[in-house]
Structure 1
């Protein structure tokens, strides 16, 4: 049987979304990689499955897989797309706020209109053991040796691990080398999403992200949250920040420790399609 899917994106961070509300998710790593191939498949940064909730306080569950078939704990642009998908499926009305369950826990989503979603991403977690990151205690800056250079990074979990490096020039050639090297650095035992952030002023950031399992991406929602959280903890940005990524803009709100962080941005449908059944059944 052919596998029906929706192709969606959140400011260029693109997804294949599968309806698994009645049919259990049953793709293996090989099938995920085949669908992810941008030359011979559909192409995506992450695959998302919409499933019945495990947590009774949540309306639905969503699974997340990277393009290399590895699982992910959270995806900020992806959860906005899940909310828009649920609206189109008649499960979520404009103005509603509901809890949906990710692999790393529940988040609240608020549908502002058919293609704009605000998400309560929870409180950023700076504890090294929770990221996970090899460091004796939480700090605003960590020295780390990457590809022959010593960098000063911030590290935080937004339900998935992030390293944040402040830079003056997002077009610097060195970033093309540092991004992949930082993503697989041994001090991050589960890998890490590497974010390079340029601070324009206290309310405006620019960001590039090299994602573990997917590579350079047009946008990373949790990466935008992580960059803002790291700089906010250092006292370098205000409580509301605009973050410009190659694919578009997100707005991040975080009052600081003791408060949850909200991300607001668009979600868009590209097309609906079918993947051949024999190719899905690896």
Structure 2
């Protein structure tokens, strides 16, 4: 026996991007990388794309910490933010909530039909803010390609930080490369000292983008909220789309707006509760 009191959890998802949520507001939880991996393991643990731990905050309703299933802590998760906001709406009896993350301060609003809107803040485009390992004066397109040097399969991606680093390749065919194979190599490319989320984005219309994402440390996921945020900002910046667009991911649609008044990105989408339980002794934290 490890002597730790039982810890309850919630299993939730946003468009199939799934999370194990632990509440550490009344009893702190010390999470190691190994513990995060064990909880996220789909065979021997609970199973999830990310482990989410909510705790007390001096500036917001809660602090949200995020570990991906590879076991390292990351700054932001858009789909998880909606899930945590919905928990707070119910607790507070309110339609507004705030969340403090390593990636920034988030303001959330409850919408109709189970939808949640999160103000994800303003994107950052400076090469040092992504961050990149070398200067690029224009991050709308950087020099990076995959495939033969004279006929690359994908090339000239846009890069942006929306609380975490994203690299978006604009493609006509989402299957032009096998992202399950290319994703790890690009995630760990020397240009990205903090690694990067890698997306293939197909612009279908001025108000519609279809997206496939390799998440940093998590792999291919059904949806990635911050990737949708990064993509709408990058697409509108280079005039591929308007500032409002639907982003379709394998798990479903997100309504996105890069608001002109303050450059903040608004993400609207659904959440789902799957089940609740108690962590078994070998996963206790």
User: Could you say what secondary structure the match of 2:132 adopts?
Assistant: coil
Query: How far apart are residue 147 of structure 1 and its match?
Result: 6.3
8 Å Cα contact 2:88-2:97 kept in structure 1: no
Q: Which residue of 2 aligns with 1:64?
A: 66
Whole-angstrom distance in 2 between the partners of 1:54 and 1:114: 31
8 Å Cα contact 1:147-1:178 kept in structure 2: no
Equivalent residue runs for 1:1-282 within 5 Å: 1-55=5-59, 58-88=60-90, 90-93=91-94, 96-113=95-112, 115-134=114-133, 135-146=135-146, 151-256=155-260, 258-281=262-285
TM-score between both structures, scaled by the size of structure 1? 0.92
Whole-angstrom distance in 2 between the partners of 1:269 and 1:115: 11
Query: How far apart are residue 21 of structure 1 and its match?
Result: 1.0
Structure 2's unaligned 5+ residue stretches are none
Query: How far apart are residue 258 of structure 1 and its match?
Result: 4.2
TM-score between both structures, scaled by the size of structure 2? 0.92
CA RMSD of aligned residues (A): 1.7
Query: How far apart are residue 27 of structure 1 and its match?
Result: 2.2
User: Could you say what secondary structure the match of 2:143 adopts?
Assistant: strand
Say which is worse superposed, 171-180 or 155-164, in terms of deviation.
Answer: 171-180
8 Å Cα contact 1:243-1:250 kept in structure 2: yes
User: Could you say what secondary structure the match of 1:128 adopts?
Assistant: coil
Whole-angstrom distance in 2 between the partners of 1:148 and 1:211: 25
Structure 1's unaligned 5+ residue stretches are none
8 Å Cα contact 2:104-2:121 kept in structure 1: no
Whole-angstrom distance in 1 between the partners of 2:71 and 2:260: 34
Shift of the 79–92 alpha-carbon distance from structure 1 to 2, 3 Å rule, reads farther
Shift of the 18–236 alpha-carbon distance from structure 1 to 2, 3 Å rule, reads same
